Structure 1
Amino acid sequence: MNNGRRIAEGGALLALYSILLFITIYVPLMVIVTSFFLPVPFILFTIKQKLSWSMGYLFIASLLSILIGTILSVPLTLLMGATGIAIGYCLKKDKPMATAFISAVLVFLGGTIIIYAASVLISNVNYIEESMKMAEGSIKNTIDLMGSFGQAPTEQVKKRMYESIEMINTLMPSLFVLISVIMVLLIFFAAHPIVKRFSDKTLKWPHFRDLRLPKSLLWYYLITMLLALFVHTDKNSFVYMAISNLFFILQFFILLQGYSLIFYIAHVKSWTKAIPVLIVVFSLLLPIPIIITAVRFLGIIDLGFPFRETIKKKE
């Protein structure tokens, strides 16, 4: 491809990114949709051009973001641009979809941490700590209000409310990872039809029902569970934080495997697609822990036993 065509395509994609960024900044309700499409121009450009050109494209996009918004728009451009370049580069090199996904998650997670750390250094304000203090203040106000109406909660309930805030603070590293995974997953879904239409690459995933995580994950889960039960350390210690976050992440993957099994059973039994979707929605929305526990148990069975093969034979 000659330089003139490169510049023309780059200009068109820059224009597309500028429009998306403008909508994201100035139309608040649209940010829920447009933010997932911001990496798409970078993905398309990286698929067709050299990596050095892609980095130059990101630099120019960062300058444009200052003109469209303010200098505060640059971190968003760098984050979404770097994520798009990571995805596009993996597609260009025909890397497995799992590699592209993990690479994008790591880039997005690293960028998020760097942006957060920089914001703390510049403003000298730890936003997570401030949010925790606000949440604690909100709980205190709620308790006082309930007390004024003669409905003060018991000490046990109060303790659980404050412990939930402490647990969120402890699990913050895992929440960063989880947010990065969800964001990249939504970026993949948003980019798939556009990448397929304007390039010879595809972001299509295998069916969710065919998801089979490594069996070793089950051993990591059981070992971490035992550590969580028998290793007693101070809640502010690094060991406690490490075990809690590892257990949280492993629980998430086990839950994911359980949902995959539900979709697999629905496929084999020829259920309507709405049934597994409704199971997922209700299990996540209804505050009934036993449902999530049951799904997690299915995930453990799926990892530890040849349950799918048994279902196939029965059919």
Structure 2
Amino acid sequence: MNRLKTGPRPLLWSGAALLLLLMLAVPVLNLPALLLLMVPYAVLYATLSRGAFLLHLLPVWLMAGLIAGPGVLIFGLFFLLPGIAMGHLYRKAAPASKVIRVVTLIMLAQLMLELLLFEMILDLSLLDEMSSTIRATLESVGAEYMAAAGWSDEQTELLIQMIIHMIPLTFIVISFMVTVLSHYIARRAVLRSGLDVPAFPQAKDWRLPRVLVVYYLIAYVIDLVMAAGDDSFLAVAVMNLVPLLSYVFAIQAVGFFFFIAHERGWNKAVPILIAIPVLLIQPLSLIGVLDTAFPIRKSFTKSK
């Protein structure tokens, strides 16, 4: 690893960590604080020795606990492990794809573990609480309208069941998005400290393994033949896998349009504008499926 030149930067990042922890106690500001809280941990761990990292971290937590209360430290602890993992991978000069994969999995595991701990230790089922909240909201807001439209209690229960079953997908998306945002900011900060951190491949070079197409087709067929209301493990897994793979292929489709833009010499804004509907309209993910399964990029490659 290159010798780092940190200077006053660790103090600034420690101040950023303290500020983000304090922002957690402020309505409206707590959401951006949650999205960015991993960044100072990753930067400090990547640029300092373990001992120095602790010397910067402990006073920050002590002051945050005294000013905003111990509740903010729960969130501080939640983002500590993925932040350390990100910083450790930066020190090892791991590829960006590995950084995102590992940190996303750590965050996902922590979210699932929290559901279990709430139920085991506090005897509080967040899933039951969520079901009760959704049911009460539907009953209070649109009971008369839904009754007039022929909406039955059975349909309400099916909707609640579907939302609950989609929690794994929701956790995956949250973990991935927070990790990508944190990596985007933290990597640039670490580079300024003299540490060489590999960049993520350019969008035009994104390529998924073809085996994902097979998995997607199998999951899609199973989803088509699955009975409505089936709450078996396979049904829940497929219910989460199909939209997840669709979103993955949508990202591949975005890479495909960046490739075309590069080959045709388009303005850089064009693929960015195209990416918006591709990510929002699920059927357009089929472009990513075709790009992964077949060598269609050769048709857009300039002959040399």
Instruction: Give the TM-score normalised by the residue count of structure 2.
Output: 0.83
Amino acid at match of 1:292: Q
1:153 corresponds to which of 146, 149, 152: 149
Aligned match of 2:42: 43
Query: How many angstroms apart in 2 are the aligned matches of 1:190 and 1:35?
Result: 14
Are 1:39 and 1:80, in contact at CA under 8 Å, matched by a contact in 2? yes
Query: How many angstroms apart in 2 are the aligned matches of 1:192 and 1:49?
Result: 15
Q: Per the alignment, do residues 248 and 125 of structure 1 end up closer, same or farther by CA in structure 2, a change over 3 Å counting?
A: same
Are 1:21 and 1:38, in contact at CA under 8 Å, matched by a contact in 2? yes
Between the two structures, name the one with larger relative contact order (CA 8 Å, sep ≥ 6).
2
Aligned match of 2:282: 292
Shift of 1:267: 3.0
Query: How many angstroms apart in 1 are the aligned matches of 2:270 and 2:78?
Result: 37
Aligned match of 1:16: 16
Shift of 1:314: 6.3
Q: Residues 5-29 of structure 1, C-alpha deviation per residue, up to 9 Å, x if partnerless?
A: 99x8766543332123223433x33
Q: Does 1:307 align with 2:296?
A: yes
Q: Per the alignment, do residues 202 and 163 of structure 1 end up closer, same or farther by CA in structure 2, a change over 3 Å counting?
A: same
Q: Per the alignment, do residues 233 and 30 of structure 1 end up closer, same or farther by CA in structure 2, a change over 3 Å counting?
A: closer
Q: Does 1:245 align with 2:234?
A: no
Shift of 1:109: 1.6
Aligned match of 1:218: 213
Shift of 1:166: 2.4
Q: Residues 248-283 of structure 1, C-alpha deviation per residue, up to 9 Å, x if partnerless?
A: 322221222122212322333333333333333345
Shift of 1:163: 3.6
Query: How many angstroms apart in 1 are the aligned matches of 2:277 and 2:172?
Result: 24
Q: Which moved more, 1:9-18 or 1:132-141?
A: 9-18
Q: Per the alignment, do residues 110 and 51 of structure 1 end up closer, same or farther by CA in structure 2, a change over 3 Å counting?
A: farther
Gaps of 5+ in 2: none
Q: Per the alignment, do residues 160 and 264 of structure 1 end up closer, same or farther by CA in structure 2, a change over 3 Å counting?
A: farther
Q: Which moved more, 1:179-188 or 1:225-234?
A: 225-234
Query: How many angstroms apart in 1 are the aligned matches of 2:146 and 2:93?
Result: 62
Aligned match of 1:117: 116
Q: Residues 196-220 of structure 1, C-alpha deviation per residue, up to 9 Å, x if partnerless?
A: 2233234632222321111111111
Q: Per the alignment, do residues 101 and 284 of structure 1 end up closer, same or farther by CA in structure 2, a change over 3 Å counting?
A: closer
Q: Residues 16-63 of structure 1, C-alpha deviation per residue, up to 9 Å, x if partnerless?
A: 32123223433x333343333322332222223345664676566544
Instruction: Give the TM-score normalised by the residue count of structure 1.
Output: 0.80
Are 1:191 and 1:203, in contact at CA under 8 Å, matched by a contact in 2? no
Query: How many angstroms apart in 1 are the aligned matches of 2:9 and 2:185?
Result: 21
Q: Residues 129-151 of structure 1, C-alpha deviation per residue, up to 9 Å, x if partnerless?
A: 32232223323344433269xxx
Shift of 1:189: 2.1
Query: How many angstroms apart in 2 are the aligned matches of 1:33 and 1:195?
Result: 21
State the number of aligned residues. 300
